[in-house]
């Protein structure tokens, strides 16, 4: 029982092949193709390019679509359905079209003959060599661009660097003059205080008058210097509030 069914099935396949061949010849020639359909017990059909060959307990043959070599167990084949599928006049199932694999991400799809090279290998090589050597690009046409005028910076009231430099120069000169005058007056005062001889009343009177005069001059010079220092500080504060650059006062 174990080997009876496969042997009978193989004999039936051979007899079917002979009957189909003779029927096709009587009808007026060979079969349009040498394909052979094997129906399995689950209803699935396998189309071979010719009558499969029995090897032990299996049928071995090449598929009609693609030509792949496959083998089927004899126990899985439906003998009656296979006979009907291969009778003369039964339409042969068309082979399944070969599916084109979908391209993976970042992969060029198989375009086949749709792509044609625009340049020969020599032209492509020359282009690559030119790019490697740094061939300069063709110069572009020069365009006449009007110069952009940049306005000079100003403070919040529209006064520029020249205005603040002029005022700073005036205050600086006044401050330096006051400082120099104070220095001279203090030196004269120091000399007057050391000039006391005390020999006579006239000399004493002259010394006192000269000393008082030197002290008054020194005090006036000191007050003047203090006023100029205050004016210089006030100018810096005024420039800061007006939004002038600090460098304009230097």
In a domain, residue 99? The reply is: no
- Nearest C-alpha neighbor of 159 from the set 57, 86, 248, 37: 248
* The predicted structure's pLDDT at residue 19: 45
Least confident interval from 3-17, 72-86, 229-243: 3-17
| Mean predicted lDDT score pLDDT of the chain | 76
Last residue of a domain, one of 55, 85, 115: 85
Confidence band of 118 (pLDDT split at 50, 70, 90): low
Domain that holds residue 197: 161-249
Mean pLDDT calculated for residue range 235-248: 91
Looking at residue 39, what DSSP letter applies?
A: E
Looking at residue 152, what DSSP letter applies?
A: P
Examine the pLDDT at 190 and tell me if it is beyond 80.
Answer: yes
In a domain, residue 243? The reply is: yes
**Domain total in the chain:** 2
In a domain, residue 154? The reply is: no
In a domain, residue 224? The reply is: yes
Portion of the chain with pLDDT greater than 70, in percent: 65
In a domain, residue 116? The reply is: no
Portion of the chain with pLDDT greater than 90, in percent: 21
Mean pLDDT calculated for residue range 71-100: 76
What's the CATH number where 81 sits? 2.30.30.100
* The predicted structure's pLDDT at residue 225: 95
Higher per-residue pLDDT: 217 or 104:
217
Mean pLDDT calculated for residue range 82-109: 66
* The predicted structure's pLDDT at residue 109: 56
* The predicted structure's pLDDT at residue 206: 79
Distance between CA atoms of 50 and 69, rounded to whole angstroms? 12
Examine the pLDDT at 219 and tell me if it is beyond 80.
Answer: yes
Distance between CA atoms of 38 and 206, rounded to whole angstroms? 150
Give the per-residue SS3 of 126-147: HHHHHHHHCCCCCCCCCCCCCC
Confidence band of 124 (pLDDT split at 50, 70, 90): confident
Higher per-residue pLDDT: 92 or 55:
55
Distance between CA atoms of 94 and 85, rounded to whole angstroms? 13
In a domain, residue 133? The reply is: no
> What's the pLDDT tens digit per position in 127-150?
777 766 665 555 655 667 778 778
Mean pLDDT calculated for residue range 210-225: 90
Last residue of a domain, one of 85, 100, 132: 85
Return contacts of 70-74, CB within 8 angstroms, 24+ apart: 70/46, 72/38, 72/40, 72/46, 74/5, 74/6, 74/9, 74/10
* The predicted structure's pLDDT at residue 226: 96
In a domain, residue 135? The reply is: no
Last residue of a domain, one of 43, 59, 85: 85
* The predicted structure's pLDDT at residue 82: 87
Mean pLDDT calculated for residue range 209-234: 91
In a domain, residue 111? The reply is: no
């Amino acid at each position: 029982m174990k080997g009876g069914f496969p042997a009978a099935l193989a004999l039936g396949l051979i007899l079917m092949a002979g009957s189909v061949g003779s029927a096709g010849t009587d009808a007026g020639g060979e079969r349009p193709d040498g394909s052979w359909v094997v129906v399995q017990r689950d209803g699935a059909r396998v189309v071979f390019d010719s009558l499969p060959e029995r090897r032990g307990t299996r049928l071995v043959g090449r598929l009609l679509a693609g030509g792949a070599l496959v083998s089927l167990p004899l126990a899985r084949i439906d003998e009656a359905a296979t006979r009907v599928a291969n009778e003369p006049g039964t339409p042969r199932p068309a082979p399944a079209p070969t599916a084109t694999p979908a391209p993976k991400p970042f992969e060029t799809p198989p375009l086949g003959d749709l792509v044609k090279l625009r340049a020969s290998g020599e032209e492509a090589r020359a282009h690559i060599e030119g790019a490697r050597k740094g061939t300069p690009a063709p110069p572009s046409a020069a365009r006449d661009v009007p110069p952009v005028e940049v306005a000079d910076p100003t403070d919040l009231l529209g006064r520029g660097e020249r205005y603040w430099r002029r005022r700073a120069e005036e205050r600086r000169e006044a401050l330096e003059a006051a400082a120099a005058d104070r220095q001279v007056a203090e030196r004269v005062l120091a000399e007057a205080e050391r000039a006391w001889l005390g020999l006579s009343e006239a000399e004493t009177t002259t010394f006192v008058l000269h000393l008082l005069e030197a002290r008054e001059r020194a005090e006036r010079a000191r007050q003047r210097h203090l006023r100029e220092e205050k004016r210089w500080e006030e100018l810096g504060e005024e420039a800061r509030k007006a939004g002038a650059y600090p460098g304009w006062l230097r």
